[in-house]
Amino acid sequence: MMTHAYAPLRHAFRYGSSALSAAALAALMAAGPVAAAEPGSAAKQAADLAAGKADDPVVLKAPAPNARRVYVYDPKHFAAISQSFIIDGDTARVLGTADSGFMGNPIVASDGSFFGHANTVFSRIARGKRTDYVELLDSRTADPIADIELPNAPRFLVGTYPWMTALTPNNKTLLFYQFSPQPAVGVVDLAGKKFDRMIEVPDCYHIFPSSNDTFFMHCRDGSLLKVSIGADGKSQTKRTEIFHKENEYVINHPAYSPKNGRLVWPTYTGKIFQVDLSSQEAKFLPAIEAFTEAEKNDGWAPGGWQQVAYHRDSDRIFLLGDQRAASKHKAPSRFLFVIDAKSGKRLSKIELKHEIDSVGVSQDAKPQLYALSTGARTLFIFDPETGKEMSSVNQLGAGPQVITTSDM
C-alpha cells in the first residue's frame, strides 16, 4: 500500500495493510511468533521494525495474472464515475482498483496481459463535453498503456452487459456496440492504438467474436448475424435461421467462451440455447431445460444480473435460480444449478446462502466459482465441486455487478 502521499496514480495496486498504528504493531509483536509472517503482513512489519529495518515506501506491482485473477466491476448504480476491483481469487484479496467513467465496459485480455474499459467521461462530471475512449491498463501496475478516443460519442450507455464490448481472440481489436442513431459496431485497433471504423449492422445486439475478423450478434427477429469484418473495410453480413420463438426471451447476460466458440444463452424460464461458433458458422445445439415442469410450476426460474457462467474444460453450465414471481428476473438468486452442457443433466444444486446477482467461474482445471452480491457488495468464492463457500471479499464499492476472468 502506498502509505505515503506521493503517488499520484489514478489506479492503484496494494497488498495487505501496512497502515497499522505503532500501538497495534507493538501488540502484534507481543502476540506471537513472526517467523512465518507473510510478506506485507502486520507480523512481517513488526519483525522488520524489531530488526531496525527502515521503512521504504514503494508503489507495488501485482503478481503476474493467473486464471484466478478476477475483476469485479462496480457501475455504482449509474454514477458518473465507476470502479473496478482487481482480486486474487486464491488469497481472496484485493490487489488493486481502477477507476473508470460512466457505465464503463470492462475487458480483460485472454492472456491476462492487460485489462481495461471502454469509458465515457464528461468535462463537468456528469454534463458538458462528452468523451468516449478505450483505456487499456497494465495488469501488474494498472498504469495506462493505451488511451484511444472514440469519435462522436458512439458508446451505448446501458447497464453493463459484458458482451456489448468484446476483444478478438488475438486481443488486437476491440469491438463495441452503438445503439443510436443506428445499430453499429465500432472497430478499435488496439495494436495500432487507433479507432478504425463503424460497421453498420441490422437491428442486432451483442458482439461475440469467433475469430480475429468474424463476430456474431443476436438479432431482433431471433436469428444470429454473422459479420465478417473484412480487411478492405468492406464488411459482410449473413443471417442464420431463427433459433428461438418471439415469446422466448433470452437474457442480456449470456455466457460466451471465445476459446471454444460456445454461446450459452438462457431464457427467462431456464430454457438454455447453445450455439457452437467455433467453425465460424453457427451450429445450434439441442436446447436444455434447466428446470422441470414441476419446478417451473413451483416458481423456479433464473434471475439476477450475470445469471450464467460456462466452464470450457468440463463443459459445464452454472445457472443462478430461485423461486420468484414472474417479471422478477433481475432479482438475485440463492441457488446455483450445475448442468452438464452436453447432456443437459443437472449435476448439482448449490445453496449459496446469500442473495447472489452475478456468477463467474475461473477456467482452470479445478475452477473457483465466483458469486457476487450487489446488495452485500461482496464476492463469495465457492468450490463448485463441493458447493462449499471457501472465502469472500467484501466492501466492493456501491453496487458491484460484473465479474470478468480470462481463459488463459
Partner 1 sequence: MRVLVLAATLAALSAGAALAAGALEVVPEAPAGSTEVKIAKMKFATPEVRIKAGSAVTWTNTEALPHNVHFKPGGSVDKELEGPMLRSNQTFSVQFNTPGTYDYICTPHPFMKGKVVVE
Question: Which positions from 303 through 342 interact with partner 1, judged by CB under 8 A?
Answer: none
Query: Smallest gap, in angstroms, from Cβ of residue 149 to partner 1?
Result: 20
Report the residue from 10, 53, 194, 220 that binds partner 1 according to the rule CB under 8 A. 220
351-357, Cβ contacts within 8 angstroms, sequence gap of 24 or more: 351/387, 352/380, 352/382, 352/389, 353/389, 354/378, 354/380, 356/304, 356/320, 356/332, 356/380, 357/304, 357/305, 357/306, 357/320, 357/332, 357/401
Residue 43 gets the label, from left (phi > 0), alpha (psi -120 to 50) or beta, of alpha
3-state secondary structure of 403: strand
3-state secondary structure of 9: coil
Q: Which is nearer to partner 1, 115 or 161 (CB)?
A: 161
Query: Smallest gap, in angstroms, from Cβ of residue 124 to partner 1?
Result: 22
**How would you classify the pairing of strands 236-242 and 369-373?**
unpaired
Question: How many residues make contact with partner 1 (CB under 8 A)?
Answer: 8
Question: Which positions from 186 through 215 interact with partner 1, judged by CB under 8 A?
Answer: 202-203
Query: Smallest gap, in angstroms, from Cβ of residue 182 to partner 1?
Result: 5
Q: Could you give the string, one character per residue 156-185, with x where binding to partner 1 holds by CB under 8 A and - elsewhere?
A: -----------------------xxxxx--
Q: Which is nearer to partner 1, 4 or 245 (CB)?
A: 245
> How far, in whole angstroms, is CA 403 from its chain's centroid?
3
Closest CA to 306 of 257, 269, 358, 260: 358
Asked about 102 being catalytic, the answer comes back as yes
Catalytic residue among 13, 102, 115, 291: 102
Rounded to 5 degrees, what angle do the CA atoms 256, 161, 282 make?
35
Query: Smallest gap, in angstroms, from Cβ of residue 218 to partner 1?
Result: 13
Q: What is the grid cell recorded at 400?
A: 458491484
Q: Which is nearer to partner 1, 183 or 302 (CB)?
A: 183
Q: Which is nearer to partner 1, 116 or 183 (CB)?
A: 183
Query: Smallest gap, in angstroms, from Cβ of residue 201 to partner 1?
Result: 10
Q: Which is nearer to partner 1, 152 or 394 (CB)?
A: 152
Q: Which sequence positions are flagged as catalytic?
A: 102
Binding site for partner 1 (CB under 8 A): 179-183, 202-203, 220
